[in-house]
Amino acid sequence: MQKQVLDKVVAITGAGSGIGKAIAIELARYGAKVVVGSRTEAALIEVVEQIKQAGGEAVHVVTNVKNKEDLLRLVNTAVDTYGRLDVMVNNAGVAHISPIDELDLNEWEEMIDSNLKGVLYGMAAAIPIFKQQLSGHIINIISTSGLKIVPTQGVYAATKNAVRTLTEAFRQESDGTIRITGISPGYVKTNLVNTVKDEAKRQQVIQAMEQLGLPPVAVANAVIYAVSQPAHVEVGDIVIRPAKQN
């Protein structure tokens, strides 16, 4: 598997912490060259330093996925630094939990802008490069929240199911030159829960994460599996969750 990942150039959004950070570190450990993006530069610098201290290659670009220009800068940095882009990992996202009838439009808009439009902007930035290269791989990090609909997660799940739909649509539209994979994690121990404003709901999710949550490296391993397949093999959909998760 390491041979197939060696020297691949991978751009990753939301890479300052959690799943994105784990993806960056593990890919670099396997010999990939990673370009990490997130909104917090201090966190990105720490990730890059950790990778370099372990003998890997990485650069960072401050990236807010709500801004299409930031995504263009991320992928262009990959090409300018390493000569190409092999994989685009659209990982950044936010989660707000509340009943729909609370009508928190600001939270809805933030999730739509980050979870859906941010993925579209990432795809739009990478696809022209992949077309020019005649190769490329898009990885969209989705969620099991869209597979099992539960109260208080309606809008969050809706954004994730929208990404699931566009991922499958692109797969069908592609001639195989550009591969695409959707990965849906279940409970993972990350700081995504910090965006939940309601204290009681946040504590409930934290408790579930502590009891069930997978380490972020489990999702990173799923990414590595998908990108390490031969060029004629496309892994379309991966669901990865704790064995005890309902």
Active site residues: 156
Q: What is the C-alpha separation between 74 and 243, in angstroms, rounded?
A: 35
**Residues 54 and 28 sit within 8 Å (Cβ to Cβ):** yes
171: CB partners within 8 A, 6+ apart: 180, 234, 236
The encoded tokens of residue 42 equal 């201090």
**Residues 227 and 11 sit within 8 Å (Cβ to Cβ):** no
Backbone dihedral angles phi then psi of residue 177, each to the nearest 5 degrees: -65, -40
Calculate helix-pair angle for 154-173, 118-133, nearest 10 degrees: 20
Q: What is the C-alpha separation between 205 and 218, in angstroms, rounded?
A: 19
Neighbours of 143 (CB within 10 A): 27
Q: What is the C-alpha separation between 229 and 1, in angstroms, rounded?
A: 8
> What's the farthest any 2 CA atoms get from each other in the chain?
51
